Structure formats: structure tokens, C-alpha cells
Structure 1
């Protein structure tokens, strides 16, 4: 009995073990940070090469198409670089540590932090925010219990904070340079005839957000046969805004107006994408 007591007393308690593990984890994280800073100092970014990589990335049509978001506010339109463009900027600028961390979960909500840290200059941006484990529906708030749903909710809310952190660290002139290069890529893009790309855009709005051709025409104020490259770019910005959660369908499109301004092409659109393409060809 005495031997067992001595052996038990000689072992650390569960609380002590937890403290040791936490201390070891903190020490390991500190060493990783020191290593990252050391490498950043040993291999500083080449500004010329960083800008060149960013410009090359912005020449990709797929990135340029998702590089901007826009949403209405107070009767005006607010636009800016999307999270996709911000991520590409961070990847190619180099020596940045950025991401989203969930700090804790409690009482049906998560406390998370988005951050971006320039390891060379020690400039850091971070935003701590709270995310409720619920999602808005037509019937009110719906609680989220599945860990995957909670993770996606935190990631979605964190993306906008992460974008702000990245854009707060990377110089503004570099961001403007990337935006202009994306605009040049869009204006000179030859991915196919304009009417085909408009048809594809209408199809995506219809399938993902139930936005019809009539609603798009009501928003722009004219028939899609009169659309130009600029209109298609603006339509893409609206789609990115909806996809990133920066705005809602109701902010852009009104069903009642669409019914009052129903065009001759509406019937063709309802029959299928082919009908729209044929009508556009005839209008030309």
C-alpha cells in the first residue's frame, strides 16, 4: 500500500500535465515564429520580383474575373479588391504570415482572429471578432450544430476580416497596380464571343441565385443585347459580391420591376441557354 501511494504521489496530476503540454506548445510556437522571422531577415523580399509575380498573376483571366467585389450603399456603389485578389497579393508579396484562427467556442458562438504579419518590417494587422453559431433563414435564425457548418460559418465571416488585414499591410500602390492590371486583363480578354459570355453569366445567376434575365435587364435599364464589356465586368462584380457575402440579391435586383419590364427575350431564356444565344445572334 505504501509503495502504491509513493508511486501515485510521484506522478504529475492531470492539471500539471495539461500545464506542461500548454507550455511546450507555446514554446514550440515561439520557436516557429523566431525561425520565420530569421528566414525573412536572411532572405528579404525582392520588390521588383514580387511586383512582377503579382502582375503575372493578374494576367490570368480566372483571377481577374474574381478580383473585385461591389455592393450598393446609400445610393452609391462601393467596390474594392476581393479576398481572392488579396490572397494572391499576400502569396506573391512574400514573407507574410496570415490566416484565421478560432480562439475559443462558448455559449453558441466562436471567438476568432484574422491576422496578417509582415515578418520583415514587423507590421501587423489583426482583428478579433465573434461569430454566432446560427444562420439567417426566412423563418428566422437557425442554430448550427454540425462542426463543419460552424467551421464554414467562421471561415466565411473571417474572410472579410482577413482581406482587410492583408490590404492593411501590403502597400496601397501595389494593390492599385494589381487592380489596374486585372482591369486590363478583363478589357482585353478573348475567352469567346461577348454574347456567349453574357449567356454564361445569366446561366450562373439563374442557377445559383434564382436571378432571371428580366431582373438583370431591370437592374441595368436596357436589353442584354445592348450589353458591352463594361456591363459584363459590372455583372461579374455583382456576382462576386454575392458570393463573398458582401451583399444580398435584394440589394441589386427587384422581382416586381422585372415583371413590369419583361422583355421579348424572356421566353427564349426560359426555354434554355441556346434560345438566348440564338436571339442575341439575331439582334446583332
Structure 2
């Protein structure tokens, strides 16, 4: 007779990991250990790493992509781009960085961006969600179903977090010097002032593609007088794309129809006429008020003659 109490959880066998999973986990662990061992055995020469970064920033192709800019609240937000961050990590050395998609479900992806200094064991990690939607001013929120669109959306969002991770493990003064060198690289070889180059660029757009200065300012989202070196580079790329026939004006600028231009001109004219009318009404009102004030000046004063007085 068996007097043992039955197992309330049933006769369940423990989960067994597959051989493939165990091999993958073991391989990744060995790779991390080996990377840390190599980093400790061959530490970076900071002087040589710094010199490599400065030489990289002297390349004009990198300098042109080294900074990002976008308008916010009437000001320009600027900072090191992902391209400059990658160049910094590659030349600083002994840094493991990348983006990993952890999960994909419920029309969103869970993603991790990381940067790990293998020498100092300093690590920056950011885990975030990327909804499978794309926003545009014309169409609003658009659901993504194409795997390629989803991949590009995840990569674009991951690049911004990866940039922050890389910049978090590299000394700040090295980053500042890299930005300074990129700015010097952009300015070198340009004897003509930026404002004159912008004026010529505006004239070329208007002459060859009928793109006005207002359309360029709408694309950059600031006045042409405030265009920076990076803005000029962006416009030069657009000009080359239009020149080569790789794109159309509509891909970059808001093209208004003749009817819209007529309505806009009519609205401006109506506002101008309305302003003149309001101004005339205000002048008439002021004149009436002036007459009333003059009348009050001579009524009820001590110099007024009353009946019976001489």
C-alpha cells in the first residue's frame, strides 16, 4: 500500500534546453571573455587613439556627415551624428557596440542599443520600443507591414540610441575636439564666405529648377540668413540629386499650384486693403475725438460770459 501524498503539480519533467541553444549561449560567453581578455592584454594607447580620431575628422566626407541639425522652438538643435559616433568608437578602440532586436510582437519591436568599453568595463545600455508605424504630415500615422519598412524603422530609431550609448563611454573632451576638427575641415578650402555661397545656391535653384528662396527656407525651416554650413551641404546634395534626375522638386519642396498662389496673393491684398480701411477708421475716430476735446476746452471755462455779466 502506497501512503505517499500525490504531487499536486503532476508528474512534470523539467524543461530541457536544446543542444543548439546551449552551444549558442556558450559561444557568446566565450566571445565576450576573449574580447575582454584581448582588451586587457592590449590596452589602447590614448595618444595614438586620439590622433587617429583627429585624422579621421580631417576627411571631408566624414566632416560633412559629422553633425545633425533640426529646428525646435525657433532654435536649431545640433550635436554629433551617428556617423561621427561610429568613427569615434572605431578609432578609440576596444569598444563593443551595436543594436539588437529582442522581440517583435503586437505591432512593435523591443530593441536594445549598447556600447561597452571592454577595458574599463563601462557600459551604456538603452532598451526601448519601436511601434511599427510611420508618421508623415500628409498621411498621418501609417501602419507598416512590409518587413523592409519595419527593419528600416527599427534601424533608424536604434541609431539614435546607439549614438547616445557610444558618446556615453568616450571622454567628453575627445568628443569636443573631434567636433572642432570637423568644423575646421568644413571651413578649409572655402575662401568665399558662407553667405555668398548660399546666395549663389539660391540663385542656381531658382534659375534651373524654379525653386524659390521661400521654398528652400521651408525645407531647411529657417531663414536663409541663418543657414549653417551643414544646411548648405544638405542643399548641395538636393541640388545634385535634382541635377542628376534622381529625384523631383516635389520630393523635397512643397509646390503650390497657380490657383493656390492666386488665392494667397488675393488674401494678402485683402489683408492689405483691410489694414488701410482700419487705419482710415482709426484716423477718423481720432479726428472726432480731437474735435470733442476742443469743444470741451471752451465750454464751462472761467472765461465763458454768463447772462447779465459784462
On whether the aligned pair clears a TM of 0.5, the verdict is yes
Contact 2:202 2:213 in 1 (8 A): no
Contact 1:70 1:237 in 2 (8 A): no
Residues 252-274 of structure 1: CA deviation (Å, up to 9, x unaligned): x9989xx899xxxxxxxxxxxxx
1:101-140 paired onto structure 2 within 5 Å: 101-137=100-136, 138-140=138-140
The answer (yes or no) to whether the contact 1:61–1:189 under 8 Å persists in 2 is no
Gaps of 5+ in 2: 1-12, 236-252, 266-310
Shift of 1:185: 0.6
Runs of 4+ in 1 over 4 A off after TM superposition: 190-198, 200-203, 217-222, 236-239, 253-256
Q: Alignment partner of 2:55: what SS?
A: helix
Q: C-alpha separation between the residues in 1 aligned to 2:92 and 2:104? A: 33
Pair 1:221–1:76, CA change in 2 (3 A): closer
CA distance in structure 2 between the partners assigned to 1:148 and 1:50 by the alignment: 37
Aligned CA distance change for structure 1 residues 188 and 31 (closer, same or farther; 3 Å): same
Verify the 8 A CA contact 2:125 2:165 in the aligned structure 1: yes
Q: Match of 1:78?
A: 77
Residue 62 of structure 1: aligned partner: 61
Structure 2 distance, partners of 1:158, 1:217, is 29
Q: TM-score of the superposition, structure 2-length normalised?
A: 0.62
Structure-2 change in CA distance of 1:195 and 1:35 (3 Å): same
1:213 Cα deviation from its structure 2 partner: 3.4
TM-score (norm 1): 0.67
- 1:90 to 2:92 alignment: no
| Richer in helix (by share) | 1
For residue 78 of structure 1, give the secondary structure of its aligned residue in structure 2.
strand
- Compared CA separation, residues 221 and 20, structure 1 to 2 (3 A): closer
**2: CA distance, partners of 1:211 / 1:86:** 34
CA gap 1:173/1:45 in 2 versus in 1, 3 angstroms = same
User: 3-state SS of the aligned residue for 1:44?
Assistant: coil
Q: Deviations over 1:178-232 (max 9, x none)?
A: 00000111111359997499639986xx99xx9853333576545xxxx7xx845
In the other structure, the counterpart of 1:199 is 201
SS in structure 1 at match of 2:120: coil
1:23 aligns with 2:44: no
Whole-Å Cα distance in 2 between the matches of residues 201 and 59 of structure 1?
30
Unpaired segments of 5 or more residues in structure 1?
Answer: 1-12, 240-252, 262-284
Distance in structure 1 (CA, Å) of the matches to 2:161 and 2:200 = 32
- Report deviation, 1:143: 1.9
Q: Aligned pair in 2 of structure 1 residues 144, 67: CA closer, same or farther (>3 Å)? A: same
Aligned to 1:174: 174
| Aligned equivalents of 1:170, 1:90: Cα separation in 2 | 8
